[in-house]
Amino acid sequence: MNNDVSSVKVANCLTVCAKVLIAFVTLLVVASFHSQATAAETVMSDNFNDNYANSLLWSTTNVVGTGPSLSETNQKLEIYFPSFSNGSAFGAGYSSVCKLRGDFDVQVDYELLLWPFANGVRVGLAAANLGSPAAVERTNFSANISNDVPGWPREVYLAHFSDGVNGITESADFAGKLRLVRTGDQLTGYYFASGGWVPINTAYTSTNDTAVSLSAWSHDNIFTGQDVKLAFDNFIVNRGLAVCQGKIAVPIDIKPGSSPNSINLGSVGTVPVAILSTASFDATQVDPASVTLSGAALALKGKGTQMYSLEDVDADGRLDLVVHVTTSALQLNENDTSAILEGRLYDGTLVKGSDTVRIVP
């Protein structure tokens, strides 16, 4: 079903909830700018299996109000609301350090681990910087019915976009998947059922670069004071271009096709490095003359020609840019385990990528 919520009281509550959500998500994003990201995957993913908060991917200090906590544990991102949790808004979550540019497609698994009926906690996958709500949720309207959308089922999926809360669909799921897709200026939310994605709603959205958050939240007037615990897992950016601190994160492959990427700093040759094209990124738009790898510029052939070529090194049907940099110019030492590529597109946009290296004598 696809319903406009018509009750004024409901609308007011949802408006407040929207403002609180935006404020909460904004807080998460502001926190993310303090992170010192140096590299990130072009298409981000995280299975949380290392039980360690990776500060290159996520802002990790996102707890609002009294009570809620989050931890990467049991190979998931777990969020816990003890019964005493309180605040006008309270919650916890992760927010991506990098932002997504243009069309994107992200999904995440969720699991409701401690979940009393109608406890008042919302669980959402959201885009944070679109200027209006952009969340797809497995939400739990409160048993305090008069404070929380009377007349609707308590356990639901919904999309909360620029057109308000829509697509409220009753659900008994204690585990499932949420997905958010931006195509042009349209945002669509989905949940997963019976082996397929079910669209919840589509609405107009901003095309701004946006961080993505995984979070859960509630409010004093709707939280029922019971322990609640849930988890996110298997976050995947299926499609998208990640922009990290103003630079497009590009996938690179030092010594294309070979691994480990052994480099002898004393050698007189060049090191090939490929900037790979993806569904969202065209490496042929990188200006070869702008590229450096750990400070080393392109090597020159006779007659001063820069050494680069366009070839499909990973056989995915897309041309990649392969450049050769002068080995002796690499600003690396024997303890380094990664090298950073920087450059510009022909339109001036900055790009950055990194790959592992093994320095050999």
Among 13, 43, 48, 104, binds Ca ion (CB under 5 A): 48
Residue 337 CB, shortest distance to Ca ion, in Å, is 14
Q: Which of 71, 74, 75, 349 binds Ca ion (CB under 5 A)?
A: 75
CB atoms < 10 A from the CB of 2, how many?
A: 12
**Please, which residues have CB within 8 angstroms of residue 286's CB and are 6 or more apart in sequence?**
250, 275, 321, 343, 344, 345, 346, 351
3-state secondary structure of 43: coil
Neighbours of 203 (CB within 10 A): 20
- Contact 94/27 with Cβ under 8 angstroms? no
Write out the two tokens for 63.
């707890």
Q: Which stretch binds Ca ion (CB under 5 A): 50-58, 110-118, 122-130, 296-304?
A: 50-58
Nearer to Ca ion, 209 or 320 (CB): 320
Task: Report the residue from 16, 31, 54, 56 that binds Ca ion according to the rule CB under 5 A.
Answer: 54
Give the whole-angstrom CA distance, residue 36 versus residue 139.
Answer: 33
Tokens of 115: 């979940």
> At which residue do the structure tokens 């950073």 appear?
340
Place of tokens 């080393």: 296
Window 162-181: residues binding Ca ion (CB under 5 A): none
In this complex, which beta carbon is closest to Ca ion, that of residue 85 or of residue 354?
A: 354
Q: Which is nearer to Ca ion, 105 or 355 (CB)?
A: 355
Q: How far is the CB of 116 from Ca ion (least distance, A)?
A: 25
Select 218 or 278, whichever has its Cβ closest to Ca ion.
278
Q: Is 47 in the site for Ca ion (CB under 5 A)?
A: yes
Which residue in the set 62, 134, 233, 237 belongs to the binding site for Ca ion (CB under 5 A)? 233
> Positive or negative, the Cα torsion across 232, 25, 123, 125?
negative
Cβ closest to Ca ion, residue 52 vs residue 346:
52
Quote the CA–CA distance of 150 and 313 in Å, as a whole number: 58
Subset of residues 238 to 267 that bind Ca ion, contact rule: CB under 5 A: 253, 255, 259, 261
Question: Cβ of residue 328: shortest distance to Ca ion, in angstroms?
Answer: 20
Can you tell me which residue has the tokens 């003890």? 82
Nearest-CB residue for Ca ion: 75
Report residue 1 as tokens.
């079903």
Give the x-and-dash track for 281-320 against Ca ion (CB under 5 A).
-------------------------------x-x-x-x-x
Nearest to 112 by CA among 86, 145, 84, 76: 76
Q: Which residues bind Ca ion (CB under 5 A)?
A: 47-50, 52, 54, 75, 233, 253, 255, 259, 261, 312, 314, 316, 318, 320
